[in-house]
């Protein structure tokens, strides 16, 4: 059997493929959330005259960054590394822009645009979309939240901004980002920590795992005290979790004397950690109060439907 192979012309950044020369390489995915928000973001780019949703080439000087870009620091070292990659492989994923005041404004991809300038390119592939100010801000926030180098604190603050600016539920924000609701909830919970601990998280003195373990402590002063110990002693996440579950002598005394503080059982801690649910338990004896946070209305309804179905098993004496 004779097999005949046709050699494919390789496309460069400076010259997109045309006619029968074969399609340009498919752009790397923007991320599930951003890709879903930008029409045609996953399609093969076709050079056109600039119709919304399609791809063309623009001179760098005809493109300007958005003043609403949430990311202010792009990092020189990272830009230089990306510029080197662009020199070797070209820009695979087009910059997303919109027409504005006779020019083009970046909606998503400012980092690629800056790196292309460092790489000495004169033109870049762009996808033109129709977008108003709110749309631009939303897409910029989503793109920023999908960065690989995003710190936990940056992610938490970015999600909060997305939720507050566009009046989203956690489920809606998760859908836009292509994340799970639990992941969104866990990030937002970090913002409940004291500012001193958030600063430790920002500096990298504490990991996200350390911070989430500290959230199990209701007393802010105890959170700060344990966080300082963690940094001073180089404690692991597991050690912090064990310290949280094993209260100090003074804390045991308060738990015995006061109805406002009880230890959270191990199964409850596991559920809270796994599903991103805030659990607060107070009271004692036959008068224990349980408060759950981080649930959507549908999740709360399903929870009580399950309790209703299993009522006889859960409350045999009721």
**Same domain membership, residue 119 and residue 211:** no
Of 64-73, 212-221, 231-240, give the lowest mean pLDDT range: 64-73
pTM (global) more than 0.95: no
Give domain status of residue 192, yes or no. no
Flag whether pLDDT at 230 surpasses 90: yes
Give domain status of residue 248, yes or no. yes
Residue at a domain's end among 134, 150, 166: 150
Q: How far apart are CA 235 and CA 229, in angstroms?
A: 8
Q: Encode pLDDT of 122-158 as tens digits.
A: 999 998 988 787 787 788 778 778 776 678 888 898 8
**Same domain membership, residue 212 and residue 136:** no
Distances (CA, A) of 59 to 102, 128, 215: 14, 14, 49
SS3 content of the chain, % helix, strand, coil (to 5): 50, 15, 40
Q: How confident is the model at residue 7 (pLDDT cuts 50, 70, 90)?
A: very low
**Same domain membership, residue 229 and residue 139:** no
Give the per-residue pLDDT at 266.
65
CB atoms near residue 207 (< 10 Å): 16
Give the per-residue pLDDT at 198.
93
Residue at a domain's end among 150, 173, 190: 150
110 is catalytic: yes
Q: How confident is the model at residue 286 (pLDDT cuts 50, 70, 90)?
A: confident
* Mean pLDDT, range 95-119, rounded to an integer: 88
Distances (CA, A) of 139 to 110, 142, 189, 205, 296: 12, 5, 23, 31, 24
Q: How far apart are CA 255 and CA 266, in angstroms?
A: 17
Give the per-residue pLDDT at 144.
75
CB atoms near residue 257 (< 10 Å): 9
What are the tokens at 303?
Answer: 């929870």
Give the per-residue pLDDT at 15.
34
Give domain status of residue 62, yes or no. yes
Q: What is the CATH number of the domain that holds 52?
A: 3.90.1530.10
Q: How confident is the model at residue 258 (pLDDT cuts 50, 70, 90)?
A: very low
Q: Encode pLDDT of 28-54 as tens digits.
A: 333 445 554 554 444 333 333 455 557
**Same domain membership, residue 216 and residue 118:** no
Q: Which residue among the candidates 15, 80, 105, 110 is catalytic per the annotation? A: 110
Give the per-residue pLDDT at 283.
67
Instruction: Tell me, rounded to whole angstroms, the distance of Cα 287 from its chain centroid.
Output: 39
**Same domain membership, residue 208 and residue 146:** no
Give domain status of residue 270, yes or no. yes
**Same domain membership, residue 205 and residue 135:** no
* Mean pLDDT, range 281-292, rounded to an integer: 74
**Same domain membership, residue 144 and residue 67:** yes
What are the tokens at 125?
Answer: 């592939």
Q: How far apart are CA 146 and CA 178, in angstroms?
A: 9
Give the per-residue pLDDT at 275.
77
Give the residue, 69 or 94, on which the prediction is more confident: 94
Give domain status of residue 136, yes or no. yes
Label residue 247 left, alpha or beta by phi (over 0 means left) and psi (-120 to 50 means alpha). beta
Minimal CA–CA distance to 141: which of 164, 124, 125?
164
* Mean pLDDT, range 242-270, rounded to an integer: 57
What are the tokens at 22?
Answer: 């074969």
Query: Taking all residues of the chain, what is their mean pLDDT, rounded to a whole number?
Result: 75
Give domain status of residue 220, yes or no. yes
Give domain status of residue 274, yes or no. yes
CB atoms near residue 98 (< 10 Å): 20
**Same domain membership, residue 214 and residue 145:** no
Expressed as residue numbers, the domain containing 61 is 28-150
Give domain status of residue 163, yes or no. no
Q: How far apart are CA 176 and CA 212, in angstroms?
A: 24
**Same domain membership, residue 214 and residue 128:** no
Give the per-residue pLDDT at 30.
39
Given a contact cutoff of 8 angstroms between Cβ atoms, the answer to whether 149 and 118 are in contact is: no
What are the tokens at 56?
Answer: 């063309």
* Mean pLDDT, range 238-250, rounded to an integer: 78
As for how many domains the chain has, the answer is: 2
Percentage of residues in the chain with pLDDT exceeding 70?
A: 72
**Same domain membership, residue 282 and residue 204:** yes
Given a contact cutoff of 8 angstroms between Cβ atoms, the answer to whether 191 and 199 are in contact is: no
**Same domain membership, residue 139 and residue 33:** yes
Contacts of 108 (CB under 8 A, 6+ apart): 30, 34, 38, 95, 96, 139, 140, 143
Give the residue, 7 or 132, on which the prediction is more confident: 132
248 three-class SS: coil
Q: How confident is the model at residue 1 (pLDDT cuts 50, 70, 90)?
A: very low
Given a contact cutoff of 8 angstroms between Cβ atoms, the answer to whether 125 and 94 are in contact is: yes
* Mean pLDDT, range 86-104, rounded to an integer: 88
């Amino acid at each position: 059997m004779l097999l005949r192979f046709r050699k494919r012309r390789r496309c460069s950044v400076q010259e997109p493929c045309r006619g029968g020369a074969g399609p340009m390489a498919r752009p790397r995915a923007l991320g599930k959330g951003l890709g879903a928000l930008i029409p045609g973001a996953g399609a093969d780019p076709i050079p056109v005259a600039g119709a919304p949703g399609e791809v063309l080439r623009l001179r760098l000087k005809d493109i300007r960054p958005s003043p609403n870009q949430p990311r202010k620091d792009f990092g020189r070292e990272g830009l230089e590394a990306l510029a080197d990659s662009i020199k070797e492989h070209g820009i695979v994923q087009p910059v997303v822009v919109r027409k504005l005041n006779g020019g083009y404004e970046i909606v998503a991809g400012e980092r690629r645009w800056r790196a292309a300038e460092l790489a000495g390119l004169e033109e870049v592939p762009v996808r033109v979309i129709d977008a108003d100010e709110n749309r631009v801000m939303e897409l910029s926030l989503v793109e920023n939240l999908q960065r690989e180098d995003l710190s936990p604190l940056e992610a938490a603050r970015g999600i909060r901004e997305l939720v507050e600016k566009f009046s989203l539920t956690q489920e809606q924000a998760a859908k836009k980002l292509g994340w799970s609701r639990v992941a969104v909830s866990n990030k937002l919970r970090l913002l409940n920590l004291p500012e001193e601990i958030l600063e430790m998280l920002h500096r990298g003195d504490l990991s996200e795992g350390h911070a989430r373990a500290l959230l199990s402590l209701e007393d802010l002063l105890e959170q700060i005290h344990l966080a300082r110990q963690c940094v001073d002693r180089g404690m692991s996440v597991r050690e912090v979790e064990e310290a949280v579950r094993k209260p100090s002598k003074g804390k045991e005394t308060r738990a015995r004397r006061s109805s406002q503080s009880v230890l959270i059982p191990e199964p409850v801690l596991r559920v809270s950690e796994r599903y991103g649910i805030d659990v607060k338990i107070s009271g004692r004896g036959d008068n224990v109060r349980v408060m759950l946070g981080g649930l959507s209305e549908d999740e709360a309804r399903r929870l009580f439907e399950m309790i209703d179905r299993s009522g006889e098993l859960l409350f045999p004496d009721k």
